[in-house]
Amino acid sequence: MEGHIQIITAIDHMQQQARRLLQTGKTIAFVPTMGYMHEGHLGLVREGREHGDTLIISIFVNPTQFGPAEDFQAYPRDLDRDVRLAASEGVDIIFAPEAEAMYDTAYQTYVDLELLPRYLCSASRPGHFRGVATVVTKLFNIVKPHVAIFGEKDYQQLVIIRRMVRDLHFDIRIIGVPIVREPDGLAMSSRNAYLSEEERESALSLFQAVQQAEKNVAQGVRDASQLIHEASELIRSYPYTKIEYVALCDPETLKNVDRVDGPTLIALAVWVGKTRLIDNTILEPIEN
Question: Which CB contacts under 8 angstroms, 24+ apart, belong to 102-109?
Answer: 102/11, 102/60, 102/62, 102/135, 102/138, 103/63, 103/64, 109/134
Q: Active-site residue 169, yes or no?
A: no
Q: How far is CA 274 from CA 111, 196, 203, 208, 269, in A?
A: 30, 10, 12, 20, 13
Please name which of 206, 201, 180 lies closest in space to residue 276, comparing C-alpha atoms.
206
Q: For residue 208, which amino acid is it?
A: Q
Catalytic hit among 41, 128, 169, 229? 41
Per-position DSSP letters for 219-261, written without gaps between them: TT--BHHHHHHHHHHHHHTSTTEEEEEEEEE-TTT--B-SB-S
Packed helices 128-143 and 155-167: angle between N→C axes, nearest 10 degrees: 60
The residues annotated with a catalytic role in the active site are: 41
